[in-house]
Structure 1
């Protein structure tokens, strides 16, 4: 029995949903004119763009922009929401961290949703709770609506955080996969910066309304891009798979070699219909799973979300008078640094950037910790106090830059590259869940830890960044310039 026959039931089950975007239904036995006739007008939009993969990446990048906007929202709005609704610091900390709780639920569901209805379908589903969540926050008159809205946003963000990097990795050619994959984190930083910037000019209710825009644009835009060819192949829809890949690579490109490689990989992964937990003891499973989970946990354990969510409070502690402006500047710096990562990811390599990034984070966090310890032990208004405040500010900015140069973007790229096809849904969900669980712990404790001791808080983050450097140096392989199939076969 052939692979196509093995998957016939799955194929029939998925087709009604998939063909919502029916423009990529086409037979690959004919040439370009026949393909275009079957594709329809929406495919013509992609065909006329010589960089169709980039167009697809930019469209799905609206999801991470929503992700970043959700993360950045709490920083410029903290004082205003507390004042308007009479919340305590602890209640606002709960509000800030609930997006992570929702994201954990979304992360658990993301792998199965993405495997069952496809990458595009899961992004459409993720957009709906995001929109409802922002509306709930904008019309909130007490903490209950705030909490409900934040949880709904979090669920959508949890699905987005898994699906977007996987989709990008599966559509990108190997020589551009690192750079295009880094667009995911670049978009997150753009979303954070937009929340910071707009938060200076509009109140928290209007800012919540503006948060609806990315997903409102994303839903119709998804109808104009192809589904992941690797997912289509896994579902047994071979005509759609080859058609999608042809659109992504261009009509004049010979895709036969890539088609055969993907078919071999998918056929191998479907020989066993279910993966038992005992199977994860095999090196080809436990090694990539350990790397993926380890990088995504250490990314959050460094304290980045604590710094970004409560950057206004941190800058006030450092003695910066215009803390909102400084926070906005921090967001802009993060966008620039992540843009550099996007440019160098396929040139310098993932591993080198991770080592540089974690080294810079360790040094800068140590500087911030020492500065706060000294500042808290001397009288305010002295020259040394001012110097320590400046050093703390420099350290925080350097930390965010260092994070953005590698640890911010590359763990998501590597996770989407190294997970074997047969366990990608399960393993990706687990890795994303661990990331959001760690993020929740950091976000929930950051405000409380900063009230306890700013120096002690950053000392804890310094230890974590040091461990991250060791983990990368000893465990993480280089994936630059290799196809997904080559990477996954190497773990065998």
Structure 2
């Protein structure tokens, strides 16, 4: 059972990194609230406050781009270590900050590292775990841990000063700097680099030597060996050449289109904008202006949903969970739209709307959001995975930014009921696309999933033996 030590160690540092990323973004609310009140003698203009509040999101995109350029060269483990160091430096700067410049540098470092660590956790959860438990660990690491970090920061920020909270951020950063150093490298990455002896050693440390694990290892090495032979024959030997070659393949553009629909789903199902606007919506729907209470309530709904997702993913197939929860959440959104259209001033009616919104948050975070996170961790070919995130990051930025810019305009033009109705229709279109295009991936190895998207056949042995050029 020695392999359990290495698996627990790997899962632990990815989970801590995800909590740290959530905590970093959640910490911002207490920081801004304190700076607005000028509690620490740090006097900032509204413009400077706005820059501090928004620069992290922008810098997280820069972090993903840097990771895309260098992540496949240095491996998963060293990427975690190197991107965790700016997180620690950022927290130290925050703790000792006396003015705008040090606070801004702190947010820039934390944002850049946070973007890269979020992607690394998503990919690592898929590569370090076995096919039967992969979806569960992806949900726990990408969704539950991140939501927990945000919730801790928001709740603790009410009673603990933001500089004191920075110490907790430092502790988390130190842990996800040091733990990867004593962990093993991703066997998937080692195989993609042709380091097959190291791959076997790392794989067996993580998964043991039972028959199913040995079969998975055999297929991993066989497929990566064949891909490297084909790449050599085709003179496609480095990451740039592989990306350029992939751009010529039909399957790759199918993956990009699927990625576009995934990000569109996130944008229109409100993963970002509904959470940010929830306090405003609740204030307008109830007539009460207790923003802090609403923030904690929304965090609670999100955390409950993400915790439920862990149970549902263990019990249900990925496709069934996506379509049952996705349709249910969308129907709730339509009902909420109708209720807001026929709204009245009765107190009970206002609370019906609040309850509908709460259930929407719970169901959306229990099903569709974690399933799409799982999809993003499994979607791209192993040897160009980081480069693919570099290429698709502008799509994510475009959909989210467009959603954030258009939403206030839509609310002014058609109200919240119109906004929810339009979003629900777009989400139904995305679900229709997923129904037609996405296979069931639970219990499948990453090699089987990659082969399916390239050839529409899960049989790795058959595809490899046919000398299929689609492997590269």
Alignment TM-score, normalising by the size of structure 2: 0.82
**Secondary structure of the residue that 2:247 maps to in structure 1?**
helix
State the match for 2:15 in structure 1: 61
State the match for 1:345 in structure 2: 313
Matches within 5 A, 1:175-214: 175-183=132-140, 184-214=142-172
CA-to-aligned-CA distance 1:361-386 (integer Å, 9 cap, x gap): 323334444555566xx6xxx42xx2
CA spacing shift, 1:276–1:481, aligned 2, 3 Å: closer
CA distance in structure 2 between the partners assigned to 1:144 and 1:318 by the alignment:
39
Question: By how many angstroms is 1:263 displaced?
Answer: 1.3
CA distance in structure 2 between the partners assigned to 1:143 and 1:369 by the alignment:
42
CA-to-aligned-CA distance 1:271-304 (integer Å, 9 cap, x gap): 2322254643423322233223421342134332
CA spacing shift, 1:298–1:143, aligned 2, 3 Å: farther
Alignment TM-score, normalising by the size of structure 1: 0.78
Once the two structures are overlaid, the 10-residue window that deviates more, 240-249 or 363-372, is 363-372
Native 8 Å contact 1:365 1:462 kept in 2: yes
Of the three residues 189, 193, 205, the one matched with 1:235 is 193
Of the three residues 62, 84, 92, the one matched with 1:127 is 84
CA distance in structure 2 between the partners assigned to 1:451 and 1:114 by the alignment:
43
CA distance in structure 1 between the partners assigned to 2:360 and 2:197 by the alignment:
48
* 2:430 corresponds to 1:468: yes
State the match for 2:459 in structure 1: none
Native 8 Å contact 2:3 2:206 kept in 1: no
Any stretches of 5+ residues in structure 2 without a counterpart? 456-472
Matches within 5 A, 1:29-48: 48=2
Once the two structures are overlaid, the 10-residue window that deviates more, 428-437 or 54-63, is 428-437
* 2:187 corresponds to 1:219: no
Matches within 5 A, 1:297-336: 297-309=264-276, 311-319=278-286, 320=288, 322-336=290-304
CA-to-aligned-CA distance 1:25-82 (integer Å, 9 cap, x gap): xxxxxxxxxxxxxxxxxxxxxx657464244212211111122223333445554333
CA spacing shift, 1:471–1:136, aligned 2, 3 Å: farther
**Secondary structure of the residue that 1:108 maps to in structure 2?**
helix
CA spacing shift, 1:261–1:178, aligned 2, 3 Å: same
Matches within 5 A, 1:417-428: 417-428=378-389
State the match for 1:280 in structure 2: 247
Native 8 Å contact 1:357 1:404 kept in 2: no
Native 8 Å contact 1:111 1:429 kept in 2: yes
Once the two structures are overlaid, the 10-residue window that deviates more, 213-222 or 349-358, is 349-358
Once the two structures are overlaid, the 10-residue window that deviates more, 197-206 or 434-443, is 434-443
CA distance in structure 2 between the partners assigned to 1:140 and 1:450 by the alignment:
39
CA distance in structure 2 between the partners assigned to 1:371 and 1:117 by the alignment:
53
CA spacing shift, 1:333–1:132, aligned 2, 3 Å: same
State the match for 2:463 in structure 1: none
Of the three residues 163, 170, 182, the one matched with 2:120 is 163
Question: By how many angstroms is 1:458 displaced?
Answer: 4.2
Of the three residues 401, 404, 410, the one matched with 2:371 is 410
CA-to-aligned-CA distance 1:316-365 (integer Å, 9 cap, x gap): 33334544234323323322322222233254122222223332332333
Kindly report the root-mean-square deviation, in angstroms, between the aligned alpha carbons of the 2 structures.
3.1
Matches within 5 A, 1:12-23: none
Matches within 5 A, 1:133-148: 133-140=90-97, 143-148=100-105
State the match for 2:65 in structure 1: 108
State the match for 1:365 in structure 2: 333
Native 8 Å contact 2:312 2:366 kept in 1: no
Question: By how many angstroms is 1:480 displaced?
Answer: 1.4
**Secondary structure of the residue that 1:482 maps to in structure 2?**
coil
Native 8 Å contact 1:107 1:430 kept in 2: no
State the match for 1:40 in structure 2: none
CA distance in structure 2 between the partners assigned to 1:195 and 1:98 by the alignment:
18
State the match for 1:248 in structure 2: 206
CA distance in structure 1 between the partners assigned to 2:105 and 2:424 by the alignment:
34
Aligned length: 438
Question: By how many angstroms is 1:422 displaced?
Answer: 3.5
**Secondary structure of the residue that 2:369 maps to in structure 1?**
coil
